[in-house]
Amino acid sequence: MTRPIRLGVNIDHVATIRNARGGSLPDPVRAAALAIQAGADSITAHLREDRRHIRDDDIERLRALSAPLNLEMAATPEMVALAVRLKPHACCLVPERREERTTEGGLDVIGQRNSLAPAIAALNKAGIRVSLFVEPSPDVLRVSSELGAPVVELHTGTWCEAVVAGHTAQAAAEFERIKSASLLGAELSLEIHAGHGLDYATAETISELPDIAELNIGHYLIGEGIFVGLGNSIARMRSAMNAGRARLGSAA
Ligand SMILES: CC(=O)[C@@H](O)[C@H](O)COP(=O)(O)O
Ligand SMILES: NCC(=O)COP(=O)(O)O
């Protein structure tokens, strides 16, 4: 039987709009509640070290909602302590640079193995599901598995940018990397998630990969929400993902 695919809605950029005026509106927690009603399986929020969008009190309020919370964060002692205290359902460890506009690549799990290991161990011990936001590359997946993380989230940004730019050959090559990484990840008994830069079309395509269990999508959904309403953009995303998954079922 074909496994369903989960949708995690990232509400960071509702907070970006709120913070543009420094007040409390629009409230990202209200957006999260609406996302759950519209079919999101979980909520994702990235608490950056510079607090440029999501803030600590948002995390506390998101934690109180009915859907699981996936907290994205850098693997710093401050963030690990905060996660252990707030106990989100899941933590996705991401690389972070203050100067970047958005997450620019996957974690350097090979170079930072020694600093990642204690962070992963502490989160595992606290009963939080740990995922590592990584490039779709074989060495990176093997080290992720050795580090004891049960989940990896494959960075889809390079593929999505190539698709949007119409760089067909590069897009095809990037998609093959994602596909091979998802196969290897499954062989290593990792749960495979994917995200960054996905839109309706790329989400539908990637949903055809049978080993992908979850997509985390934010920026595009919030942007589309301006035109069609957030509930409608999420419902349409769900349909796109279901359509991709259904093609997989009919091909089997
Ligand atoms: C890790 C990831 O791909 C996204 O969650 C992204 O980090 C969202 O936050 P930013 O837009 O601040 O990068
Ligand atoms: N981890 C990826 C994520 O949460 C959402 O990324 P984006 O859709 O905002 O680019």
| ipTM for the complex shown | 0.95
Is 167 annotated as a binding-site member? no
Which atom number of ligand 1 is nearest to the Cα of residue 196? 3
Pocket test for ligand 2, best of 44, 100, 221 (most atoms within 8 A of CB): 44
Q: What is the mean pLDDT of residues 84-95?
A: 97
Catalytic residue flag (residue 46): yes
Residue 101 has what pLDDT?
86
Cβ 193 under 6 angstroms from ligand 1: no
153, 193, 196, 214: the catalytic one is 196
Given a contact cutoff of 8 angstroms between Cβ atoms, the answer to whether 234 and 40 are in contact is yes
Q: Classify residue 1: in a domain, yes or no.
A: no
Looking at the predicted structure, is the pLDDT value of residue 98 above 50?
yes
Nearby residues of 235 by Cβ (< 8 Å), 6 or more positions away: 38, 39
Kindly report the CATH number assigned to the domain that includes residue 147. 3.20.20.70
Number of domains in the chain: 1
46, 135, 174, 224: the catalytic one is 46
Q: Classify residue 226: in a domain, yes or no.
A: yes
Is 56 annotated as a binding-site member? no
Residue 249 has what pLDDT?
66
Which atom number of ligand 1 is nearest to the Cα of residue 48? 12
pLDDT digits 0-9 by tens, 201-224: 999 999 999 999 999 999 999 999
> Domain range spanning residue 125?
6-251
Alpha-carbon distance of 88 to 90, in angstroms, equals 5
Q: Classify residue 97: in a domain, yes or no.
A: yes
Q: Classify residue 64: in a domain, yes or no.
A: yes
